[in-house]
Amino acid sequence: MGLVRKFFNQTRKPEGFLGRLMLSGMSFGHASVADWAMSLLNIPEPLEIVELGCGNGRDAGELLKKYPGSKVTAVDYSPLSVERTKRTNKKMLEAGRIKVLDDDVSNLKLEHEKFDLATAFETIYFWPGLERCFENVKKILKPGGRFMVVMESNGQDKIIQWFKKRIDGMNTYSEEEIEKALRAAGFSKIEANHKKSIGATWLMLLAEK
C-alpha cells in the first residue's frame, strides 16, 4: 500500500503518526460542513448530547459552544481520537461538561434513553451496517430525541467515489438509502437539508425517535 493510500485510510480509524496527521487535517477539511449543519440545528437546548465518531474533538467543542447548558459525551473506537478529543476540549473536560469514551457504534455500551441529541459528522461511511447501527443510536436516545447525520457528499459526487476507491472499507450512501435505513431502524419525521459546494453536495439529515 502506497503512502498516499495509507494516509487516506486513516480516515477510518486514525492511529500512529499518519493518524495524528489526519486528525490535524480534519480541523480544516470538515469544519465548514459541520458548522453549516449545526447552524441548521434549531431545536430546544438538549441537556445531553452524544457525538458518535468524535475524531479530533473539534465538533464536540462547537456543540458545547452552541449549547452552553448542555453536556456532551464524545465517543470513538480509535484510542488516538479519544486522546485528541480530550486534549482539544481540556477545559470543558475539567469543567465536567464533556466525557470522552472509547466505544463502537456497532456495539454501543452507553446508557439507553439517556440522550436528547445524537450527532454523526462525516462518519457513517465506515459504520458496519447502517440499519443495525441506527438501531443502536435509537436505543440511547430519549423518546423524541433527535439524530443528526452530516455528510460532505450525497453519495453521488465524483469526489466521494474517488475517495471510496482509495479507502478500504468505505461505503457511500445516497440520501434515499440513509433515509430508508433510518425508517427501518424506527426513526420518523426525517428532515433533509442540502448545500451545493465545490464538487459536492453537502447533506444533513435530522430524524426523530
Mean per-residue pLDDT for 10-16?
50
119 has a pLDDT exceeding 70: yes
CB 81 within 8 A of CB 55: yes
Range from 14-23, 112-121, 144-153, 157-166 carrying the lowest mean pLDDT: 14-23
3-state secondary structure of 179: helix
| CATH value at residue 101 | 3.40.50.150
Q: Which residues of 33-45 are buried (b: 16+ CB within 10 A; e: fewer)?
A: bbeebbeebeeee
pLDDT digits (tens, 9 = 90+) for 155-204: 666 666 655 555 666 778 889 999 999 999 999 899 999 998 877 789 99
pLDDT score for 64 = 97
* Percent of the chain clearing pLDDT 90 (strictly above): 60
Tally of domains within the chain: 1
pTM of the model: 0.86
Going by C-beta distance under 8 Å and a sequence separation of 6 or more, which residues neighbour residue 99?
A: 71, 72, 73, 74, 93
Q: How far apart are CA 28 and CA 177, in angstroms?
A: 28
Q: Which three cell numbers stand for residue 138?
A: 435509537
Q: How far apart are CA 94 and CA 96, in angstroms?
A: 5
pLDDT score for 17 = 39
126 has a pLDDT exceeding 90: no
Residue 61: pLDDT band with limits 50, 70, 90:
very high
Mean per-residue pLDDT for 32-40?
94
pLDDT score for 108 = 95
Q: How far apart are CA 83 and CA 81, in angstroms?
A: 5
Q: How far apart are CA 81 and CA 55, in angstroms?
A: 5
pLDDT score for 169 = 61
Q: Domain containing 149: what range? A: 3-208
20 has a pLDDT exceeding 60: no
Sign of torsion over alpha carbons 158, 160, 166, 172: negative
Q: How far apart are CA 188 and CA 76, in angstroms?
A: 26
pLDDT digits (tens, 9 = 90+) for 95-111: 999 999 999 999 999 99
135 has a pLDDT exceeding 80: yes
3-state secondary structure of 170: coil
Alpha carbon of residue 145 to chain centroid: 16
Average pLDDT, rounded, for the chain = 85
